[in-house]
Structure 1
Amino acid sequence: MSRWIDSWMPGSPAGSDDAAPRTPPGEKFGLPATGVGSVAGFWRRAGGVTIDWLLGYLVSLLFVGASSFDRGSTFGWTIWLVWFAITALSVAVFGSTPGMAALGMRAAPVDGKVLVGIPRAVVRTLLLGVVIPPLIRDEDGRGLHDRAAKTIVIRTR
């Protein structure tokens, strides 16, 4: 189907069907368009990361105590390291972080393996912790961190 702009742009064939129809995210991986097993949406994923960051914050408070607020950036790095450990280990072993599990998601390998594994979970978590790579997404909703780790986040409910 042609776009509305094709009708008046010089040199463009009005009414041509050159544009390929959009496919649902994850279709090239054999995932359904909706429901269980489909690609998790951006806001669901953002909610899962938020839950994981809050969990990292609470666990960090247990380690260093509430008096750590005056220590400057040290407490921020403690939160990041705790979040990193929780995320990398849980994705490697279970395929899901606590936040992902709470919102009904998991990271699934796209290459047919059963588990993500430790090396790919570490790469995925490092890139996720840098913040920018998850914002650069492809047509399947995979951020650069998922592409590097060869994973895709799918819905479990």
Structure 2
Amino acid sequence: MVNREDIGSWLEGPRSPLPEGSWPGERLGLPQTGRGSTAAIWRRLVSLCIDYTLCRLISLAFFHDSGLWTIAIFALENWLLQASLGATVGQRLMGITTIDSRGGRARVLPLLVRAVLLCLVVPAVIFNRDHRGLHDLAANTAVVRTR
């Protein structure tokens, strides 16, 4: 029989998805804090907003604010800048970068897959305890702090 202790109470709040004493990125061999640690969700979100706003402004200037052009520019910006410079404009401003999950520089084709999935939105909002969205898992990448 199930009792109250098995279920818990809503007053206890949500349970932590991480085992006690572990941190996001530990399974990938990333440090707990500082440079090279998993980027916080808020940094990633602000970075995304910066990049999307820049792409929206480009779309407004050249294509009279077409939503499809904004998404296309956003995907292209993410793919090209991450493949060539290692980070988008927003990522640079927020002090984060995208790496291969083994710690090296992410490759071109996985970054293309990641950019396309990021534009679909849903894969980006479903993430695991290492702060890796489905788009990161599919591309075998991780977003880490650079400072």
TM range (shorter): 0.7 to 0.9
- State the match for 1:101 in structure 2: 92
Pairing of 1:109-124 with structure 2 (within 5 A):
109-112=100-103, 114-124=104-114
Q: Structure 1: which 4+ aligned runs deviate by more than 6 Å?
A: none
Task: Give the structure-2-normalised TM-score.
Answer: 0.83
For residues 30-58 of structure 1, what are the alpha-carbon distances to aligned partners after superposition, in whole Å with 9 as ceiling and x for unaligned? 21111111101111101101000001011
SS at match of 1:128: helix
| Equivalent residues of 1:93, 1:117 under 8 A apart | no
* Change in 2 beyond 3 A, CA 1:22/1:144: farther
SS at match of 1:140: coil
SS at match of 1:111: coil
Runs of 5+ consecutive residues of structure 2 not aligned to the other structure: 9-17
The count of aligned residue pairs is 134
| Equivalent residues of 1:108, 1:116 under 8 A apart | yes
- State the match for 2:46 in structure 1: 47
User: Which of structures 1 and 2 has the larger relative contact order (alpha carbons within 8 angstroms, sep 6+)?
Assistant: 2
Runs of 5+ consecutive residues of structure 1 not aligned to the other structure: 9-18, 70-74
Pick the structure with greater CA Rg: 1
1:154 matched to 2:144? The reply is yes
Deviation at 1:59, TM superposition (A): 1.4
| Equivalent residues of 2:38, 2:131 under 8 A apart | yes
Deviation at 1:22, TM superposition (A): 4.8
- State the match for 1:63 in structure 2: 62
Identity over aligned residues, as a percent? Answer: 38
Pairing of 1:1-150 with structure 2 (within 5 A):
5=5, 20-64=19-63, 68=64, 75-112=66-103, 114-150=104-140
